[in-house]
Structure 1
Amino acid sequence: MSAPDLLVVRGLVAGYGATPVLRAVDLTVPAGTIAAVVGANGAGKTTLLRALSGMIRPAAGQVLLAGEDLRGTPVEQLVRRGMAHVPEGRGVISELTVDENLRLGGLWRRDRADAGRALDEVYELFEPLARRRRHLGHQLSGGERQMLALGRALVGRPRLLLLDEPSLGLAPRVVARTMALLRQLRDRTGLTVLLVEQNVRSALAVADQGVVMSLGRVVVAAPAATLRDDDDLRHAYLGF
């Protein structure tokens, strides 16, 4: 039996000022799966994540998380309802230590004991962070900053993780480790991931579903394996 849809997007229109970037986007992501959003620069991938997480306000459309309409929901309430967004650029606070950055991810949580357990679990997942927990954010490598941004989101125990360009500027081995971790989190915790990624091969290798965007619209939504194996689709939309 297939998993229920955790995220449902219907007719989403959003942009900056009077200029629409997203044009009636429809999208569904089943619970406990990874959906990779791919496409050329300017296709609207990052704008999609920003609209879902409340960084920009949609002009039209509907966003449902576990059947709950999120229209008009403040960003802090989206976090409480189980959505976490790791934007492009990682967003690490360079003046704070690793431990302080991670604890920010759980400040809103009332169950302090479980917040502590979540912090311990992040250190188990990311051993380099455990070794550098007293180091400041600006003292970390690019790969460590990516771990820290992802770990901070996980401390909040999200149901849905929005992840924007996690491979940007990272060495191939670090990218491979990050993608493998996403699959591990999906399998171990049931985490649902909406992944925006320019590294199409890596994204489709880890994803269950592939979503191709072009000019602000979803033009193809199919199993990731179908996109990987269909030469016509790849040549038409993905450039390889």
Structure 2
Amino acid sequence: MSSPLLQVENLTAGYGPVPVLQDVGFEVPAGTIAAVVGPNGAGKTTLLRALSGSLPAVQGTISVSGTSLRGVPTEKLVHHGVAHVPEGRGVIGELTVDENLRLGGLWRKDRADAARAVAEMYEMFEPLARRRDSSGHQLSGGERQMLAIGRALVARPTLLLLDEPSLGLAPRIVDLIMTTLRDLRDRTGLTVVLVEQNAHSALPISDQAIVLSLGRVAVATSAAELAHDPEFRTAYLGF
């Protein structure tokens, strides 16, 4: 397996005097998908917020490709190859699909490649091509999720932090999104940290499973091993 792209050590973070995450540590090799799973309230979304800098860490280290990202402003993470798609999708409703996608590449100096990246998103997510002139307010939930992911990918990240992409979506849209993530990993070497309540969808496309329970890493193992371990599934995933 390749060397770690993301390294997290002794990460503690939360919203008040009592931390949600406590001494969390794990590594994600380059070119792999790590599924972060666990029961509600385990700290999965808090973890992504801490990794993206939208929630300051109390202690610990976060590094990508050997560079410390703790304390780096969220808006600067894209310059370090990190993109975060939060739960709720974050599409700008007043802008069209095309404007939202182009927004993802505004910071890039290579304007020609930014334009190519937008074109690639239309090929990857065909429903968006049909709605390119529609405003974000006019999109379905599935289309908004595709647009949020597409906008993040226009930045050409090496690490994608993705929070609950299947939430509230029809199974066929979930399948499309999961298949796209797997294909991106295989074709481009994209590294993904995927927070997902729906372990049935996340584990089959993932290389690694990180199970959070009560703000700590309960187990970190291969996704295939977790999927076939009834004891862990029952204890932490409820199936």
TM-score by length of 2: 0.98
Range that drifts further, 151-160 or 108-117? 108-117
The equivalent of 1:141 in structure 2 is 140
**1:207 correspondence with 2:215:** no
SS at match of 1:16: coil
How many angstroms does 1:17 deviate by?
A: 2.5
SS at match of 1:20: coil
CA contact (8 A) 2:53 2:70 kept: no
The equivalent of 2:123 in structure 1 is 124
> 1:222-233 counterparts in 2 under 5 A?
222-233=221-232
The letter for the 2-side match of 1:47 is T
List per-residue Cα deviations over 1:68-116 (Å, max 9, x = no partner): 1112212222111100000001011111100011111111111111111
Aligned partners of 1:7, 1:165: CA distance in 2, in Å?
A: 20
**1:18 correspondence with 2:24:** no
Q: What 5-or-longer segments of structure 2 have no aligned partner?
A: none
The equivalent of 1:64 in structure 2 is 63
The letter for the 1-side match of 2:222 is P
What's the RMSD between the two structures over aligned residues? 0.8
SS at match of 1:19: coil
Aligned partners of 1:40, 1:141: CA distance in 2, in Å?
A: 27
Aligned partners of 1:72, 1:173: CA distance in 2, in Å?
A: 39
The equivalent of 2:29 in structure 1 is 30
SS at match of 2:20: strand
Aligned partners of 1:19, 1:82: CA distance in 2, in Å?
A: 31
The letter for the 2-side match of 1:95 is E
> 1:1-240 counterparts in 2 under 5 A?
2-240=1-239
Q: What 5-or-longer segments of structure 1 have no aligned partner?
A: none
Aligned partners of 1:175, 1:76: CA distance in 2, in Å?
A: 28
Range that drifts further, 75-84 or 188-197? 75-84
TM-score by length of 1: 0.98
CA contact (8 A) 2:162 2:193 kept: yes
The letter for the 2-side match of 1:93 is I
SS at match of 2:211: strand
SS at match of 1:173: helix
Aligned partners of 2:94, 2:220: CA distance in 1, in Å?
A: 41
Q: Displaced runs of 4+ in structure 1, greater than 3 A?
A: none
CA contact (8 A) 2:10 2:25 kept: yes
CA contact (8 A) 2:105 2:155 kept: yes
The letter for the 2-side match of 1:67 is G
